[in-house]
Structure 1
Amino acid sequence: MGVMAPRLVVQCGLPGVGKSTVAGEIADRLDGERIRSDAVRRDVVEDPTYSRAERDRVYGAMLERAREALADGDSVVLDATFERRAHRDRAAALADEVGADLTLVRVVCDDEVARRRIREREDDPSEADVSVYENARDRFEPFERDHVTVDNSGDLATTRRQVEVLF
C-alpha cells in the first residue's frame, strides 16, 4: 500500500460565514495544519488596508507556508475568503506541483446569521466588519472548479456532521 498524498483544502467563503470554524474542524479530522489569512496578514502587513496588492501578498505568503507543510507530507487547510478565482487557481497549481490532493470547500451561511456573527465577534483575529462582508459578497467570483459546500447556518453539531461526511 502506497503512502497517502497530503491534502490541500482551500476554504472559501465570505467573512462571518464560519470559515474558521469549518477549517478548524477539517484540520482536526485531517490532523493537518490550518493557515489562517488573518494571522498571516498580521505577520506580513504592518498596517492593513485590504488593498488588492496586500491581499495578493497575504495569499502568496499563505501558499508558501502551505508549500513547506505539504513538502513535509502534512495536510493543510487554507482558511481565507478566496473570493478571487486567481487565488483559487494558484492554490490548485500548488497542489498539482507538490502532488497534493486538492479539495475546495465553499462555506455558506444565511445572510442574517453571518451579519449577526460579525456584529457579535469578540476576541477574534478577524477585523472584518459588515461592510467588509458586503464588499466581499459583491466581489466574490463564481466557482469554476469542482467544490463541496458546507452550510454553516445552523449549530456546531450540524456543521460537524457535514464535515464528517466530507472528510
Structure 2
Amino acid sequence: MIVVVMGFSGSGKSFIASILHQDFGFEWIRSDVIRKELAGLKQEERVRVGFGESIYSEEWTKRVYQEMIERAKKAHAAGKDVVLDATFLKKWQRKMVEEYFDKVLFLMAEAQEEEIERRLHSREDISDADFSVYLKQKEIFEPPEKALIINTQRSKEEIKAELQKVLGIPSASDSQEPC
C-alpha cells in the first residue's frame, strides 16, 4: 500500500506518518530527510532561504520527490507498505506519485491556522519551515481532487483509530475472541 500524507507545513503530516510507521510498520519516506541528504547537509542543519529558493526551488523539489518515489518503488517491490511524507501542494507533485503506483491513498493533514502557527513557532524538527513559509504555501496551494482529510488536532489514539478504519487494519479489540 502506498499512502501519501500531504498538507501545509505544521499541519501534522509527520505526526500521521509516524503513526503509520511506528504502529503499522509502514516504511516512512520523508521529504525533509531526503532533501537534506541530497544537499549534503546534516539533518539538524538549518537552511534559511526565501520561499522557493535554493534547496526549496521547484527544480530541487522535483529531484526530492523523484528520489522519494524511487525509494518507495524499492520498498514496495520488497512487499512493504510505504508512507510518503511531504507537502504535495501542487497537482504535478501528486501526479508524479500516481504515474508510478496504481493505487495511492492521499491523506490531507489539517489543523486550524492558530494551531499551525503555534506548532511552527515551537518546532524543533528537521523541517526548515516557519509560519511565513506556511503563508506562502497557502498562496500556491492547488487543492487535491481526492484526499481524505485527517484532523491532527486530536489525540494520537483517535488518529490511529481513524487510520485503522481508513486502511482496513483491524484493531486489537477486533481480533479478540469472545469469551
Q: TM-score range by the shorter chain?
A: 0.7 to 0.9
Following the alignment from structure 1 to structure 2, what is the Cα–Cα distance between the partners of residues 130 and 159? Answer: 24
Q: How does 1:13-32 map to 2 (within 5 A)?
A: 13-32=7-26
Deviation at 1:153, TM superposition (A): 2.1
Is 1:39 the equivalent of 2:28?
Answer: no
Partner of 1:141: 142
Partner of 2:177: none
The range that moved more, 40-49 or 28-37, is: 40-49
Letter in 1 for 2:164: E
1:5-55 CA distance string (max 9 Å, x none): xx0001110000110010111233442200000000011124762111111
Is 1:116 the equivalent of 2:118?
Answer: yes
Is 1:95 the equivalent of 2:97?
Answer: no
Partner of 1:63: 69
Q: Structure 1: any 5+ residue segments left out of the alignment? A: 1-6
Letter in 2 for 1:39: V
Assess, with a 3 A threshold, how the Cα gap between structure 1 residues 32 and 155 changes in structure 2: closer, same or farther: closer
Deviation at 1:155, TM superposition (A): 3.2
Letter in 2 for 1:32: F
Is 1:163 the equivalent of 2:168?
Answer: no
Following the alignment from structure 1 to structure 2, what is the Cα–Cα distance between the partners of residues 152 and 104? Answer: 15
When the two chains are superposed, the root-mean-square deviation of aligned CA atoms in Å is 1.6
106, 109, 114: which one aligns with 1:107: 109
Q: Indicate the SS of the match to 1:88.
A: helix
Letter in 2 for 1:119: H
Following the alignment from structure 2 to structure 1, what is the Cα–Cα distance between the partners of residues 10 and 62? Answer: 21
The percentage of counterpart residues that share the same residue type is: 33
Q: Structure 2: any 5+ residue segments left out of the alignment? A: 42-46, 48-53, 168-179
Partner of 1:3: none
Q: Indicate the SS of the match to 1:28.
A: helix
Assess, with a 3 A threshold, how the Cα gap between structure 1 residues 108 and 119 changes in structure 2: closer, same or farther: same
Partner of 1:77: 83
Whether contact under 8 Å (1:45, 1:54) holds in the other structure is: no
Deviation at 1:119, TM superposition (A): 0.3
Partner of 1:4: none
